[in-house]
Amino acid sequence: MPALLLGGCLAADGPRALSVTPGQYPQAFDAAIAAARDHGFSPIVVDRTTGIIETDTRHAGTLLEPWRLDNDSIDQSAANTLVKTRRRVRVEFTPAGWTPPPLATDGTLQGAALPGSRTDLERFDLQSWTGPIEARVWVYLEKSAEPGIQLSSYSSTLASRYQETRGEDPTAPSDGSTRFRSAWNPSGRDEPYERTIGLAIAEALSQGARATAVPAPATATPTGPPAVPVTAPAPENAPTPVTAPSTAPVTAEPLP
């Protein structure tokens, strides 16, 4: 049982990609947002036009947190214990068979298209798309890296630190450096986690399809002649019912 708890409960048989019809797209988009929130990720970018959902990061569980079931194995839990790790979820809805345009190798890279920008709207509009749509889930891993520390293989107390002396503020934008200034470095993808969220989206779609396919029970309309009310005979020696006096107002006539 402890090994099962530490190993987690990720779905290894989840789908790599989901096929969605144009009519299912609004429901699938909402299901993706709900699946991310159910796994502890808060959406920070939601673009229904181009089908992009980006979430904030969430730290991965460690061996010191046995109640966290977000790891695929004990090895992953141990690795997250030794090095701080966090995840970031991205869900992409694209037309079936769509491929991004090739990057220009001789030009200046402009980065990703911002939601609502001209470059972004030139791609496609899924809210008016009439063809099949594909949904894919990406879960990125990021590991913490503290610059300036040198660990010792013998004891943690022998760790040393160094400090850059290039200028007063080596991280200032004016130093001309192109270094990655974040303490979190991308380290890979978590494919079992991708399949887990994909399976949650697929289950939500299947439940919605069943709810739509099962109609409400129709009320039966009686056929044939109308039913005749039947009055049961009064039992023998039954007391005679007493009629209450009438409460209608009485009008007095004048005497002659």
Helices (H), the chain: 2-7, 25-38, 74-82, 118-121, 191-213
The per-residue pLDDT for range 80-127, each reduced to its tens digit, is: 888 889 999 999 999 988 877 676 666 676 666 666 666 666 678 888
Rounded mean pLDDT, 213-227: 51
Rounded mean pLDDT, 206-230: 55
pLDDT of residue 207: 84
Global pTM exceeds 0.85:
no
Is 215's pLDDT higher than 70? no
pLDDT of residue 164: 60
Contact between residue 151 and residue 159 where contact means Cβ atoms under 8 Å apart: yes
> What are the extents of the domains in the chain?
2-99+120-147+183-213
Residue 86 forms beta bridges with which residues? 59, 142
pLDDT of residue 178: 56
